[in-house]
Structure 1
Amino acid sequence: MTGQLAFVESPVQLLNVLEWAHARTSAAGGREAPGTSPGTSPGTRAGAGLALDDLTLVVLSPTDPMSRGQLRRMAQLARDEGVTVRWQEARDGRGSLARTLRDLAPLLRAAERVIVGDPFSRYVQLLLTLFGPRHLTVVDDGTATMEYAAQLARGERLVRWHRRGSRGPRELVLAPVSAAARRRLAPTHRRTVEIFTSLPVEAPPGTTVTPHTFAWTRARFGPPRLTRGADLVGTSLVETGVVDPDRYVEAVTGLARGHGATRYFAHRRESTEKLHRIAVETGLEIVRPDLPLELIARRGPIGRTVVSFPSTVVHTLPLALAGTGVKVAVCAVRPEWLRENVSARAQGFLAGVTGTAAHEVDRLTVHATPAVERFEFG
């Protein structure tokens, strides 16, 4: 019987499942998986502080090469820790959905607890619609956790924050699945719901919020060597249709000049064309991380200052880099950077991400003029 079954579709989700397992082990008194011996090296230890007794981790593989590459490296890290990992080609053409459901049905029926990283995923929603677990855990996959908790508390349908309010044909077809998933992702007298998060989330009625402190990451990697300059963290806000590409490049240019940045850590969804333009116009070295940024930063080298646009890293990096002396700053997205069709809901969400960043995170605003960029910390 598979007591714990995790579904992940991104490298960050996989990392956070490992963090969740580590946190459960710590809460249980630090037990280790069977077969662990005190003299085994950290890289090959079965367990390394993880709750592995009956955890199976299923990778619902995406199609884009960057995500697949990072996921394969994260999957190997999980295997090195003793986790059972199953790679599922869930999107490789016609018939893949039916095959995936058929392959995973026995595991789902047997699972007492299901751990998911993206409650907005259509794949996850469909799986939970067919097989509802007794215990559900949602781990972080970006700032979507904040929106999930808020929508759950308000009893709303689950929809990503950057999606427009109107429903297209695809949304209408999938509406029954979304409605059923909304019920399966909510606590009942027969189902517990846990949110494992590093974000400022209030527990919706009936749920439990467990703090995610990146304890496994800090124990496993680092501390990093610090460089003299600053590093910028990229975002996919252009690719998701939220921010105008010209304005984004202007903002990156101003931040690089103002902070003496030399490197730009690209988001895995950023387009090659945009990154080439940033490299040409700013002179920044473009870095395509092969692991989630929290692990990259913890291993080092990393700048003494890390500047990011509104994203999960303004919440996670201060935890992963605690005690290292690295300063994290968040640059607010100005209204004039947004595309015309961006909803007020999306604008409010971005402002909320900036406003709820940890107290040790500097708030940075870029005021662009035709001749000069000014910077203010708040």
Structure 2
Amino acid sequence: MNLAFVESPVQLLNVLEWAYAEGGGDHVLGDVTVVVLPPVDPMSRGQLRRTAELARDEGMHIRWQEARGGASAPLKTLRSLAGLLRTADRIVIGDPFSRYVQLLLTLVSARHLTVVDDGTATMEFTAQLARGERLVRWHRKGRTGPRELALSPVTARARSRFTPSAARTVEVFTAMPVEAPPGVAIAPNTFAWTRSRFGPPRLTKGADLVGTSLVETGVVDRDRYLEAVAALARTHHATRYFAHRRESTDKLHALEAATGLEIVRPDLPLELIARRGPIGRTVLSFPSTVVHTLPLALTGTEVRVAVCDIDPRWLRDTASPRAQGFLTGVTETARDVQRLAPWRATAVTEA
């Protein structure tokens, strides 16, 4: 049995893509049970429910598990999943940095482990794994508080699960440009399922802009971000702004008032929204997952994806020291995109 754990719509989409690739590209692999561990924010939950409907239509077994509903919820979740954890032959996870998933991994003895994309975090995961470092999200400053100290034995044990051995294979299914850590297999995610089920999209004349949660994660200054969005919208005649599911309502209201952009709250991951259409002939983004995934999902269309670099002056004091280097790496490794310099949105050059 294949047992998957997902906490975001993108992770669930990539489990679908993995199962389609495993099924030979004609159908989604059977015998997949997906345990959805939903976050608390309404946008993520809504997108997860819509993506789960697509997965059910493809024959997947979806188990919605409220694992964050109070202090006793984690223990109840572990007890309810004990049988599945013992019998699974393969574990598929979307977020190796998740403390919840790391706790679950300490309880499994599956012979195969697959990590599917959780966006650009996959790049940091494989790099840390190759260097033998502890698993820390790139935008964190790395401070070790009481909670991290208490969970360090769990994290260390879970990390050992990502090391291939005679008893266990480890695979990363990804659309991101990564180098394989020793013994880890890399399988390409080409968004074949998405392209087989949706599109090609109808294209609009204008440009669309993709939002980011860099403000919400404490990386980018809010005012600088609003100014950058306004500059891009003016220069490229953008009419719509596809909000990231974690963007705050307050920031989006301010952005709408400052730019006149139509704010769109997608009900599915952007790769599906774009492939289904309509979508602008130009899609503008800051460094994020979509500069890697949208060119794949939109293969065969005339859509151009352009990425605007993050100026170091936009970063907040709360940003991790690694933030600028990581964001630059996201841009520099993107394929089939156009690159825009900060504040000089008319200077378009081929990446």
Query: TM range, normalised to the smaller chain?
Result: over 0.9
2:175 touches 2:292 (CA, 8 Å); kept in 1? yes
Rounded Cα–Cα distance in structure 2 between residues aligned with 1:124 and 1:132 = 14
Cα deviation, residue 165, structure 1:
2.2
Q: TM-score, normalised by structure 1?
A: 0.91
Partner residue, 1:14 = 12
Cα 1:61–1:343 change in 2 (3 A) is closer
**Which residue of 335, 347, 350 maps to 1:376?**
347
Q: Could you say what secondary structure the match of 2:22 adopts?
A: helix
Give 1:176 deviation, angstroms. 1.1
Distance 2:48 2:345 in 1: 39
Matches within 5 A, 1:348-367: 348-358=325-335, 360-367=336-343
Q: Partner of 1:117 in structure 2?
A: 94
Alignment of 1:207-356 (within 5 A): 207-356=184-333
State the secondary structure of the residue aligned to 1:114. strand
Q: Tell me if the contact between 1:366 and 1:375 (Cα under 8 Å) persists in the aligned partners.
A: no
Residue 24 of structure 1 aligns to which amino acid in structure 2? E
Q: Note if contact 1:254-1:366 (Cα within 8 Å) is conserved in structure 2.
A: no
Compare 9-18 and 335-344 and name the one that shifted more.
335-344
Q: Which residue of 1 aligns with 2:37?
A: 60
Aligned to 2:69: 92
How far the C-alpha of 1:177 sits from its partner, in A, is 1.1
Q: Specify which of 50, 53, 56 is matched with residue 28 of structure 2.
A: 50
Corresponding residue for residue 137 of structure 1? 114
- Structure 1 26/374 Cα, relative in aligned 2: closer, same or farther at 3 Å? closer
Match of 2:83 in 1: 106
Amino acid at match of 2:20: H
Question: 2: distance between equivalents of 1:285 and 1:202?
Answer: 39
1:157 aligns with 2:134: yes
CA distance in 2, matches of 1:205, 1:228: 47
Runs of 4+ in 1 over 4 A off after TM superposition: none
Q: Distance in 1 between matches of 2:110 and 2:117?
A: 19
The 1:157–1:279 alpha-carbon spacing in structure 2 relative to 1, beyond 3 Å, is same
Quote the Cα distance in structure 1 between the aligned partners of 2:200 and 2:324.
Answer: 36
Inter-partner Cα distance in structure 1 for 2:216 and 2:166: 41
- Alpha-carbon distance between aligned partners in 2 of 1:232 and 1:280, rounded to the nearest angstrom: 16
What secondary structure does 1:210 align onto? strand
Larger Rg: 1
Question: CA-to-partner distance for each residue in 1:207-261, whole Å, 9 max, x for gaps?
Answer: 1000000000000001100000000000000000000000000000000001000
The structural deviation recorded for 1:366 is 2.3
- In percent, how many aligned pairs have the same letter? 71
- Contact 2:266 2:273 survives alignment (8 Å): yes
Match of 1:182 among 135, 156, 159: 159
Aligned to 1:370: none
**Contact 2:306 / 2:337 at 8 angstroms: preserved in 1?**
yes
State how far apart, in whole Å, the 2-side matches of 1:186 and 1:126 are.
16
Q: Which amino acid aligns with 2:319?
A: V
Alpha-carbon contact 2:172-2:187 (below 8 Å) kept: yes
Cα offsets for 1:100-126 (capped at 9, x unmatched): 000111001000100000000011000
* CA deviation string 1:22-55 (max 9, x = no partner): 001117xx4xxxxxxxxxxxxxxxxxx1111x21
Query: How much is the aligned-residue C-alpha RMSD, in angstroms?
Result: 1.0
Q: Distance in 2 between matches of 1:246 and 1:375?
A: 21
**TM-score, with normalisation over the residues of structure 2?**
0.98
Task: Quote how far apart the aligned CAs of 1:374 are.
Answer: 5.0
* CA distance in 2 between partners of 1:98 and 1:158 (Å): 23
- Counterpart of 2:13 in structure 1: which amino acid? L
* Runs of 5+ consecutive residues of structure 1 not aligned to the other structure: 31-48, 368-372
1:162-173 aligned within 5 A: 162-173=139-150
How far apart, in 2, do the equivalents of 1:108 and 1:374 lie? 50
Residues 68-102 of structure 1: per-residue CA shift (max 9 Å, x gap): 01001111111111111111011111210010000
User: How many residues are aligned here?
Assistant: 349
One-letter identity of the residue aligned with 1:51? L
